[in-house]
Structures are given as structure tokens and as C-alpha cells.
Amino acid sequence: MSGAPVVAIVVMDEPAVDAVLAGPDGVLAGLEPGALVVDFTTTSVAAKLRFESLVRGAGGRFAEAPFFGSKPELEGPGIWPAVGARAEDMPDVERALAPLCNEIFHVGEVGEASAFKLAANLLVFTMVGNLAESLALGRALGVDPARLVDVLSRGTGVRAPLYTAKGRLVIEGDYEARASVALATKDLELITTAAREVGMRLPLTETARDVFERAAAAGLGDEDMIAVYKLLELDRDANVGG
């Protein structure tokens, strides 16, 4: 990493970021003075504050950029990062991120973007779980899933690009991971833990976490998060068979 003015970290979770930063031959060992480290990983707020302390202690600058989007967005219009950084670092952060991004949202200092992303991700995972249940129930009742997704994508009150994109994956039987069940499980645990730490319970989100954990335990962890639909089908088959 010696000599790099910008270092991007795109890994799965907090232990992986630690390994990249402080492991053998890690980023911190060869960090140039003033180099900018941008961490795209979704972690807890406390983890981001710790990473910033490590990077600044090694003479660098730190920004967090947990993002909305996955493989199709990186290959197409770009991702939408929520950025946490010091105001004086934002011009350099924006220049570094611009080639990858559709739009950049500066939501505050380091830690604030992680809090923002956890609150927003709650909607994503519960929406995916609800869509899976809608399609599974519809199919069980004899409703054509393609018709259901088509109508939902039009002028109804529940129209959402996420429903359309993930619904089409179910129709096509395409479960290649854009954002995986394992990733959703990790983020849902972060979300429910963050809620507990501020004295809140999130019953719907806790249920979604349990469903995704079951999907991962059923061997679906590496598949796209909409593979929770397959878990519902497996449950139905078991109930019918029983």
C-alpha cells in the first residue's frame, strides 16, 4: 500500500476490516502521511470510530462510505454511498468516489453514516422478506408470480424498484448473489444490536433476522437475499408432506 494516496476497503464485516488495516502487511503498516482510507463496509458505529482512530493514529485520514447498490449498480449507473467524513476531507472523498457513484450523500462525521445506513437497511431487508412471502403465498394460491410482479411495478401504492428487481429474479430462478443472504444476516444482526443498545425493540426486523438466519442455516447463505423465497417454498413442501 506504500505510496497510495487513496485506499479503498470493500470487505464483508468488522473482522475483515481489522485484518486489512492491521493484519500482517496491512494498510496501516505502509500508509503514506495524509493518505485517505475509505471504508465501504457496513459495520457498527463503534467499529467505524475505532477504524478512524487507527488510521489517524498512523498519520492518515479516514472516511466511511457504506453504500446502497450492488453488482448491477457498480456495472451500470453507480452506487449511492452514505459518507461520514470530516468536512475538510470531503473534496478528496468526493473526487475518489465520483467514478463509482450515481450520487454521494454526505450525512455527517465518521460514525453518522453507519448509523444512517443501518436505519435505511432495515427497510431493504424487511422489504425483501415481505416480497418473498407475497410471491410464495401468491404461488400457493395459484397466482402467477409474473403477473403479481408486473402489477406491483405499476401505479400501485406499493410500487418499488426493489420489488421489481428481486421479483424478476424469483420468476427467472436466478439466485446469483447481488447482495447475499449471509450479508443480510450480518447486517440484520448489526441493526437489532444497535436498537438494543438504545433501548429499542424492532419486532418486525427481529423476525426478518430470524428468517434470514434460517435461510443461511439451510445452505442459502451464498445466494441472493431473495433466496429467502426458496426457504418459504421448502417450508411449504415440508408442511404439505407432513
Phi, psi of 173 (to 5 degrees): 65, 30
Phi, psi of 141 (to 5 degrees): -90, 5
Provide the β-strand partners of residue 61: 36
Going by DSSP bridges, is the β-strand pair 67-68/80-84 parallel, antiparallel, or unpaired? antiparallel
Specify the pTM: 0.91
Percent of the chain with pLDDT over 90: 84
Residues 6+ apart with CB under 8 A from 176: 223, 224
Q: Which residues of the chain have pLDDT under 70?
A: 1-3, 241-242
Q: How far apart are CA 168 and CA 152, in angstroms?
A: 11
Residue identified by cell 411495478 is 153
Identify the pLDDT of residue 242.
54
pLDDT in tens, 128-140: 999 999 999 999 9
